[in-house]
């Protein structure tokens, strides 16, 4: 038995918004949270992180974690973002800590592997095919049906995901994705990508927790803005869902079957689905919690945060009821309208004064470049709202956003000043 207070290692990236929320949750629960960041140890030390490792060097990173825990034992290793989930699983396996298996973690990261396993298990999902950037896109364009969606295998947050309605659009989408992947990897070696049938319908996001394979739904978010492409930038999440109870039950069952097909057994799960006249369709399921600052929309018994529930489960502590607060709540991820340099944000105070608005956080830094989807991976910020009904929350979010004004200058023009 460990003779230390509960201690959790948290794998984060420099772009993560969630570290502070987990630190606050740990302080409230008496759980020590050790942040391990994806950067060189010397830089991590400069920024006062206990440990820095390279997530892209898993064998070295796992050994570094094992060596660290020899003198600072931990009860669990958690990943905040997709980039750390496989590393957390591998390190946990080496240390004998409870976690999803590395194979399950890998399946939740690789979209082709995910689709293959879900389809084999009979989970409704799009028809898909895997290709390579080495393939002639003009030839591939003749082998698929339209409309389709082109997507990378292991990026998250809708990065690189592009809809194509015909061959010309498909070729342009593949060429754009190829440039993006080459830049991401800093080389021009062939890279795989996925082509899926486009699934029309209303999109939802499910936040849940797994315990020995059993799924508990913590929240079901409606995404009221249409997500029909050509890019799939998410904006508004509102909970509770306004879908009928029977449809919500079908969504939960579909998500549970998808998680089971990948071998996910414990911890957080975040799923994205489409719903149409044929029922729910599984888009993706991830073995981590909701991204960005969106967890701030969720409060549970005794004003517990989502991060508190995650830490409690990870340390084997009793969970309060997972019943969400009675109020409706929501978040708007403020989209980046164009590439450039953010120079000014106006209307912030007026937006904060909209009835129902619970807070606004502008996370994009002034005088720094910003990039929209499909190449970008961030938002201008987040707007939070609470109200009596989901409709009231959605209206407040839209009203607040309409009052915000962002001045974005062309990047080259600003550099020349």
pLDDT digits (tens, 9 = 90+) for 95-120: 999 999 999 999 999 999 999 999 99
Question: Given this model, what pLDDT does residue 412 score?
Answer: 65
270-282: b (≥16 Cβ within 10 Å) or e: bbbbbbeeeebbb
Mean pLDDT (whole number) for 232-252: 97
Question: Given this model, what pLDDT does residue 68 score?
Answer: 96
Residue 27 tokens read as: 């302080």
Mean pLDDT (whole number) for 159-176: 97
Does the pLDDT of residue 343 top 90, yes or no? Answer: yes
Question: Given this model, what pLDDT does residue 416 score?
Answer: 36
β-partners of residue 195 are 129, 150
Question: How many CA atoms lie less than 13 Å away from 214 in the CB half-sphere?
Answer: 3
Mean pLDDT (whole number) for 283-305: 93
Residue 204 tokens read as: 């939802």
Could you tell me the pLDDT band of residue 3, with boundaries at 50, 70 and 90? low
Does the pLDDT of residue 417 top 70, yes or no? Answer: no
Residue 177 tokens read as: 């994705």
- The closest alpha carbon to 158, from 369, 381, 375, belongs to 375
Q: Considering only residues 358 and 326, tell me which one the structure prediction assigns the higher pLDDT.
A: 358
Mean pLDDT (whole number) for 314-341: 92
Q: Are 335 and 380 in contact (CB under 8 A)?
A: yes
Question: Given this model, what pLDDT does residue 137 score?
Answer: 97
Question: Given this model, what pLDDT does residue 1 score?
Answer: 43
Q: How many residues does the chain have?
A: 417
Residue 318 tokens read as: 């009793």
Helical spans, DSSP H, in 263-347:
306-314
Q: Which domains does the chain have, with CATH numbers?
A: 7-99 (3.40.50.20), 127-197 (3.30.1490.20), 327-417 (3.30.470.20)
Question: Given this model, what pLDDT does residue 377 score?
Answer: 85
Question: Cβ–Cβ contacts within 10 Å for residue 36, how many?
Answer: 27
Q: Considering only residues 303 and 201, tell me which one the structure prediction assigns the higher pLDDT.
A: 201
Q: Are 320 and 302 in contact (CB under 8 A)?
A: yes
Q: pTM of the entire structure?
A: 0.93
Question: Given this model, what pLDDT does residue 153 score?
Answer: 94
Question: Given this model, what pLDDT does residue 286 score?
Answer: 95
Question: Given this model, what pLDDT does residue 2 score?
Answer: 54
Mean pLDDT (whole number) for 219-236: 95
Could you tell me the pLDDT band of residue 414, with boundaries at 50, 70 and 90? very low
Q: Are 118 and 197 in contact (CB under 8 A)?
A: no
Mean pLDDT, the chain, as a whole number? 94
Does the pLDDT of residue 413 top 70, yes or no? Answer: no
Task: Compute the C-alpha angle 231/237/240, nearest 5°.
Answer: 145
Q: Are 311 and 304 in contact (CB under 8 A)?
A: no
pLDDT-above-90 percentage for the chain: 86
Question: Given this model, what pLDDT does residue 47 score?
Answer: 83
Could you tell me the pLDDT band of residue 411, with boundaries at 50, 70 and 90? confident
DSSP state of 365: P
């Amino acid at each position: 038995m460990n003779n230390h207070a509960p201690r959790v290692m948290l794998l984060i990236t420099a772009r993560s918004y969630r570290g502070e929320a987990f630190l606050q949750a740990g302080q409230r629960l008496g759980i020590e949270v050790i942040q391990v960041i994806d950067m060189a140890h010397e830089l991590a030390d400069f920024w006062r992180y206990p440990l820095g490792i390279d997530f892209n060097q898993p064998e070295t990173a796992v050994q570094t974690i094992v060596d660290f825990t020899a003198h600072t034992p931990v009860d669990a290793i958690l990943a905040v973002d997709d980039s750390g989930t496989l590393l957390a699983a591998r390190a946990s396996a080496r240390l004998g800590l409870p976690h999803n298996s590395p194979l399950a973690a890998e399946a939740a990261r690789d979209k082709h592997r995910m689709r293959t396993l879900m389809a084999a298990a009979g989970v409704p999902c799009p028809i898909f095919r895997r290709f390579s950037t080495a393939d002639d896109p003009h030839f591939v364009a003749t082998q698929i049906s339209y409309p389709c969606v082109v997507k990378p295998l292991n990026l998250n947050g809708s990065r690189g995901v592009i809809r194509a309605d015909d061959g010309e659009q498909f070729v342009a989408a593949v060429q754009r994705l190829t440039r993006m992947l080459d830049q991401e990897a800093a080389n021009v070696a062939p890279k795989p990508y996925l082509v899926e049938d486009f699934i029309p319908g209303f999109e939802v996001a499910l936040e849940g927790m797994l315990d020995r394979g059993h799924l508990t739904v913590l929240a079901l978010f409606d995404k009221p803005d249409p997500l029909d492409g050509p890019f799939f930038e998410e904006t508004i999440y509102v909970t509770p869902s306004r879908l009928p109870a029977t449809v919500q039950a079908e969504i939960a069952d579909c998500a549970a079957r998808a998680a089971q097909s990948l071998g996910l057994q414990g911890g957080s799960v975040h799923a994205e689905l489409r719903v149409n006249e044929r029922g729910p369709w599984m888009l993706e399921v991830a073995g981590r919690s909701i991204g960005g600052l969106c967890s701030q929309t969720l409060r549970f018994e005794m004003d517990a945060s989502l991060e508190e529930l995650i830490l409690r489960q990870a340390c084997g502590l009793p969970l309060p009821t997972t019943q969400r607060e009675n109020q409706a709540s929501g978040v708007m991820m403020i989209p980046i309208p164009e590439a450039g340099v953010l120079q000014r944000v106006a209307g912030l105070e007026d937006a904060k004064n909209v009835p129902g608005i619970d807070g606004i956080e502008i996370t994009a830094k002034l005088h720094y470049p910003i990039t929209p989807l499909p190449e970008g991976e961030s938002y201008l910020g987040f707007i939070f709202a609470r109200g009596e009904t989901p409709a009231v929350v959605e209206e407040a979010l839209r009203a607040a956003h309409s009052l915000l004004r962002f001045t974005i200058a062309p990047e080259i023009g600003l550099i020349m000043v």
